[in-house]
Amino acid sequence: VYVKIRRADFTTFTRQRRLNPPASQTRRIHGTARELLQEWIGAYPGARLRLLGVGVADLEPAGRADLLSAVLRPGDDAVDGAVDRIRARFGETALGRARVLR
């Protein structure tokens, strides 16, 4: 998981962390990205941001990445699958997690 951070003066930073074990669950990806951002903010308090990007790299084949994660948090895969099916049918903005509504 990586984050790309650009300050108002166009200085760009990237931070990344490898998930072990690998995962495709949005909860783990979001949590890791959030940790990376919080660590950066701790190093640059008060910095004004122009851009924030989140991405994933070094992907594993489907099904192989989440063997341990599926055992530890089996409901996450079901939630992610349901969200994917609803968005495929009704569009990307049809459904989102409540935590982004503020």
Helices (H) and strands (E) in the chain, counts: 3, 3
Put simply, whether the predicted model's pTM sits higher than 0.85 gets the answer no
pLDDT at 101 over 60: no
Please state the length of the chain. 102
Q: Do the beta carbons of residue 7 and residue 53 sit within 8 Å?
A: no
Q: What is the pLDDT of residues 4-15, one digit of tens each?
A: 999 999 999 999
The whole-angstrom separation of Cα 81 and Cα 92 is 14
Question: What are φ and ψ of residue 50, in 5° steps?
Answer: -105, -35
Q: Residue range 46-75: average pLDDT?
A: 76
Q: Which residues contact 12 (CB under 8 A, 6 or more apart)?
A: 4, 5, 6
Q: Give the residue ranges of DSSP H helices in 10-102.
A: 26-43, 67-72, 74-90
| Lowest-confidence region among 1-5, 34-38, 43-47, 66-70 | 66-70
> 29: how many CB neighbours lie within 10 A of its CB?
16
